[in-house]
Chains A and B, each alone.
Chain A
Amino acid sequence: MPTPWSRAPLMLLRRPVVALAVAAAALLVALPAAAAPLFLASAGNATLRQLTDASCSWQSGLQLSAAVPMSPTPEAPDDPTGAELVDRRVDTVREQTRDLPHLSEPVVTLSTGAAVSPAADPDQSVVTLVARDGFAGHVDVVEGGDGPGVWLPDRFARTQGLSAGDRVTLFGEDGGTSTRVAAVFRDLRSVPEQPYWCSLRETIHGTPLGNAPVYPVALAPRDEVLSVAENGDAGMRIERAVDTEGLTTVGGRPTAEGLDRLRATTVASPEPGIFDDSAPYGAAFTSSLGDMVNRSELVLAALTGTVVPLAAAGTLAGLVIAAAAGAFWADRRRAELTVLSARGVGPVALGGKAALETAGAVVLGAVAGWAGAHGLVAAVGPSPLVTPGATRASLVAAAVALVAALAAVAGVAGFRAGRLHDTRPARHRRWARVPWEVLPLGAAVACWFALDSDVQVRAAEAVGTVARIPPRLIVAPVLLAIGLAMLGARLVRWVLTRLRTRALTMNRPAAFLALRRVSAAPLVASVLVGAVAVPVALAGFGATVTGSVDRTMHAESQLIVGADAVLTLEERAPVPPELAGRAGVVTRYVDARLGDTTVHVLGVDPETFAAAAFWDPALPGPALTELLDRVAEPGGAAVAGVAAEDAGSVLTIRDGHRELTLTAVAQLPGKQAGYPLVLVDRALLEELAPTAQSQLWARGDPDEIVAAASAAGLPVSAVARAEDVQASGVYAGITYTFDFLAAVSLLTGVVIVVGLLLYLDARSRARRSASVLLRRMGVGAAAHWRALLLEVGGLLLAGFAAGTALAAVVIALTAADYDLDPGTAPGTLVAVPWPVVAVLAVATALTAVLASAAAQRAASAARPSEVLRDTR
């Protein structure tokens, strides 16, 4: 004989709205829970990708450097030399790394010094002769390009009066080799850097601030280089780049371990005769993949402390909706529950019936939640790659979420059913008076003091540290916002309860009706206001912290470098026309004295420097343009890093002295750690130090700047980029944290919309009746819709305003902590996220309009005869 329980599994098919609400609730529970492990894995993989992309792929993979003796040594007369040694080393490396994934084919580079003859300028005739597998495909050929011979850089060829086809002699340490000039190519120092050449960066550009001479790089086939090095040594590198396609923290680990084994057999325990470490032929092994994997896992660990609480908060918000869906189910099943409850069926059995009925929808919702989490992380996560372990963890999380959602639906349904009869209302009034908001507020204070506030995370392995958002900067503000929202909701309820008992006189029926409806249900209205306020506050807070941290870090890195790119020039040169209006020539002198203090001096053109250098209007002190006006005055100067009265006012460079009128400021562009920086007119510095280093400062994309400088033929010897200061994945965790917070805020917003729809649906019967009755009283559909718009829009607007205020409070309390590098000026620069506020405002208004329009449409469709007969 069928019973309400045996019939339950298929009964929800006849209630699609309830099924949809339950499935949506389960989705909202499962999605954040499943997303957390996937997001963490994705962030770890993205960090690894970012690290490998930011570094030279040859060095992050495998780079084995060693000298190549060209003739046997007395200590090892039988060891292979020259070309044979090169081949055997390559074979050994290839053999030992054969099974390692994510590595490219080996590339061999040989190099040696050579003097080119004939040369128009014999003092400038030395080149670094390099043979690198496949080099011809990675240079811009200006002339020639066929046949054997040496490839010369264009600047060198021009200086020495050489062209393709000329015969030259390449002199090594002892003796020379005659060859032809096979090609002339664009000097590698004057073209944007290509990944192919990155491991030879120091050979090509030299080291920044280094004193070693940097010779032009000429290219030649391998045998040509070995021939020039005949009576000396050649340098050799075997490199295998990391192939980042599909590279994950888990997948990269075996490769890193395999490379460690190779290191053990080559450098730590060398292959006899091949990688002998006896000087001067010792081998050096470089691979940063292991460190990068460790570092990525460190970022992952740094994220866990904030992502997991956020995911838990999102899941809890979803569970609230699941509970609301349970109540919704109980309301829609009220007649049936009344029948069964009156006959003594208890809340457990009725909750069980709810579970049986909703299980299918919950399973569907949880599966959709897991799939949604997977899809979202793949589509908009830090990386589309996740690890198998993360997928398993997300499945487990989704399963737990499924059970929790079902328990929430069944629990609340059973609770509501159990309260249909035989209740004790007085007890519930007492519960309502308990100040529950004290709990999150107290927890916020406790978390602020108890949780870790360190902005750095360090791992057991020596891989340095990574910056992170300290957990307390997330958890405490979230709890604070929730607590304050609850407090605000209580206040709203108090006000509405007072309004309910007050006689209202209003001429406009829509306003009267809206106010009466809102004040008739103060609890629901106040919960809605509080529930809207929380995601608005979280989104505003998250966007502000994201923007502020980014703005602060950007300002710090820009101030250190001075501009987006600073190109060190070998000689004075004008600003390329392409960079006009955003670049300026600056001279720098690093060994000056201001009174008794050693200082760096920057000579600038007061007219153009403001357009070339970084400055943020929020920085303390006078604006840069104002400072430059003072610098333009005779003897005018600005100093950062020392108080003017402590430094004296006489600038001394070598034997020259100049009395300055100083303006002391907290920060100047180009001010690096250590020495104070003095900003003076360039003409003054050039007068005191004619040999001061020339630099080109420019704003914009560094690659474009370098390309423009190259096209203009500027003699660039080194490039400093502001973006490099934040590289190396140090700050990756921070970006990802706020990505996740933004996603959780969005999810919470969806939760609120679903909650609003449930709120509207729950009142649809009363609204339908009211609409019909009002029509009979002469209040038209338009006025009723306006009333609905005022009711829904008023509540949402109040929630939006409360959320914005909450965000402002939370930001004011925590802003000082947004500077993740407090040792570096300028300190926190708050970025108010006006676009986010505008989007939230529009979303709120749109939600109010759409929801009220949908409710009005349903109410308008009601037929008076049916409504008036429907007495329940």
Chain B
Amino acid sequence: MTPADHALSCSRVSHSYPVDDAPVRALADVSLTASRGAVTVLAGPSGSGKSTLLRILGCLDRPDEGSVEVEGVVTTALSTRRRRALRRARIGYVFQDPADNLLGYLTVAEHVALGARLRGGDGTGGGSAAVLEALGVADRAGHRPAQLSGGEQQRVALAFAAAGEPPVLLADEPSAQLDRAATGLVVGALRELAARGHAVVVTTHDPEVLAVADEVIDLVDGERRERA
């Protein structure tokens, strides 16, 4: 794998949260790279800093220290407005709760069309069918989120995030609220998206997700640990 394949990387990222005016460390000196076509998994117990790191990688938070690059652009040096533009153009993000990923009044097809439109597409829905087909929810194109199961909602969320072909796809514990069967479908969707050329980064402690990882990065108490 060459540096050109690295869609996403971070170097010596540290972050802390203020609690009652005292900082509590969430991340310390974490570095990683994620490549196109690969599924990179951030693993670790609750409170290990996985979600914090994912939000920093997705330009949803700024690190206290360290740098993040998305497709060669150092995002930590950018203004909030430019980071937002970068987020819109190059990053797809899926939250843990399906309700945080979808708009209740849009159908599945409309979500995908909106995603593409936000990334500069014409919004006519071109290409959305292929994404939905690839993630196995094409037959649900006319349904609204409330009419879908949890697994379907998460796969639609992935389709929404992947619409417009952003190079980076980030998913925060996408299987946390799903049963085993639904998790299987989501894991398949992640693999499918990686196969379509996205750099997929996922946080999880679900063995089923870990099983499809190309690379696993373990975090413990905000620090990266070498995997045994």
Instruction: Give A residues with C-beta under 8 Å from B.
Output: 1-4, 7, 11, 335-336, 338-339, 342-346, 421-422, 424-425, 501, 872
Among B59, B100, B101, B113, point to the contact of A422 (Cβ < 8 A): B59
Q: Do A339 and B124 touch (CB < 8 A)?
A: no
B118 touches A (CB below 8 Å):
yes
B147 touches A (CB below 8 Å):
no
Q: Do A344 and B117 touch (CB < 8 A)?
A: no
Chain A positions within 8 Å of B118 at CB level: 343-345
How far, in angstroms, from A344 to B118 measured CA to CA in the complex? 8
Instruction: Tell me, rounded to whole Å, the shortest Cβ–Cβ distance linking A431 to chain B.
Output: 15
Residue of A nearest to B83 (CB): A422
How far, in angstroms, from A345 to B58 measured CA to CA in the complex? 14
Q: Do A343 and B93 touch (CB < 8 A)?
A: yes
The 7 A-B pairs with the shortest beta carbon distances in the complex, nearest first, are: A344-B88, A344-B87, A421-B60, A1-B113, A342-B93, A344-B84, A1-B123
A-B contact pairs, 13 of them (CB 8 A): A1-B124, A7-B106, A338-B95, A342-B60, A342-B93, A343-B93, A343-B118, A344-B89, A345-B84, A421-B55, A421-B59, A422-B80, A424-B62
Q: Do B61 and A1 touch (CB < 8 A)?
A: no
Q: A336-B104, A501-B20 are known contacts; what are 9 more A-B pairs with Cβ within 8 Å? A: A1-B113, A7-B105, A343-B92, A343-B115, A344-B85, A344-B87, A345-B118, A422-B62, A424-B62
Q: Do A339 and B101 touch (CB < 8 A)?
A: yes
How far, in angstroms, from A339 to B88 measured CA to CA in the complex? 11
B81 touches A (CB below 8 Å):
yes
Among B88, B97, B123, B125, point to the contact of A3 (Cβ < 8 A): B123
Q: Between A and B, how many residue pairs show CB distances below 8 Å? A: 70
How far, in angstroms, from A425 to B62 measured CA to CA in the complex? 11
CB contact list, B92-140 vs A, under 8 A = 92-93, 95, 97, 99-106, 110, 113-115, 117-118, 123-125
Q: Do A343 and B87 touch (CB < 8 A)?
A: yes
Chain B positions within 8 Å of A346 at CB level: 81, 84
Q: Do B125 and A1 touch (CB < 8 A)?
A: yes
Instruction: Tell me, rounded to whole Å, the shortest Cβ–Cβ distance linking B35 to chain A.
Output: 23
Q: Do A2 and B88 touch (CB < 8 A)?
A: no
Chain A positions within 8 Å of B207 at CB level: none
- Category for how many chain B residues contact A: 35 or more
Residue of A nearest to B128 (CB): A1
B86 touches A (CB below 8 Å):
yes
Instruction: Give B residues with C-beta under 8 Å from A.
Output: 18, 20, 55, 58-62, 80-81, 83-89, 91-93, 95, 97, 99-106, 110, 113-115, 117-118, 123-125, 161
Residue of A nearest to B109 (CB): A1
Instruction: Tell me, rounded to whole Å, the shortest Cβ–Cβ distance linking B107 to chain A.
Output: 9
Given contacts A1-B113, A343-B93, A344-B85, contact A422 B103 (CB under 8 A): no
Instruction: Tell me, rounded to whole Å, the shortest Cβ–Cβ distance linking B96 to chain A.
Output: 11
Q: Do A339 and B102 touch (CB < 8 A)?
A: yes
Chain B positions within 8 Å of A422 at CB level: 59-62, 80, 83-84
How far, in angstroms, from A424 to B17 measured CA to CA in the complex? 11
How far, in angstroms, from A338 to B97 measured CA to CA in the complex? 12
Residue of A nearest to B97 (CB): A872
Chain B positions within 8 Å of A425 at CB level: 18
Among A3, A7, A339, A872, point to the contact of B117 (Cβ < 8 A): A3
Residue of B nearest to A425 (CB): B18
Residue of B nearest to A4 (CB): B103
Chain B positions within 8 Å of A2 at CB level: 106, 110
Q: Do A342 and B117 touch (CB < 8 A)?
A: no
How far, in angstroms, from A11 to B102 measured CA to CA in the complex? 16
Chain A positions within 8 Å of B114 at CB level: 1, 3-4
Chain B positions within 8 Å of A872 at CB level: 97, 99
How far, in angstroms, from A11 to B84 measured CA to CA in the complex? 26
Chain A positions within 8 Å of B80 at CB level: 422
Residue of B nearest to A500 (CB): B20
Chain B positions within 8 Å of A342 at CB level: 58, 60, 87, 93, 95
How far, in angstroms, from A2 to B112 measured CA to CA in the complex? 12
How far, in angstroms, from A501 to B21 measured CA to CA in the complex? 11
Among B59, B62, B87, B103, point to the contact of A336 (Cβ < 8 A): B103
Residue of A nearest to B114 (CB): A3
Residue of A nearest to B124 (CB): A1
Task: Among A336, A343, A421, A422, find the residue whose CB has the most chain B CB atoms closer than 10 A.
Answer: A343
Chain B positions within 8 Å of A345 at CB level: 84, 88, 118
Chain A positions within 8 Å of B83 at CB level: 422
Residue of A nearest to B113 (CB): A1
How far, in angstroms, from A1 to B113 measured CA to CA in the complex? 8
Chain A positions within 8 Å of B20 at CB level: 501
Chain B positions within 8 Å of A335 at CB level: 99-100
Q: Do B84 and A338 touch (CB < 8 A)?
A: no
Chain A positions within 8 Å of B92 at CB level: 343
How far, in angstroms, from A346 to B104 measured CA to CA in the complex? 20
How far, in angstroms, from A346 to B123 measured CA to CA in the complex? 18
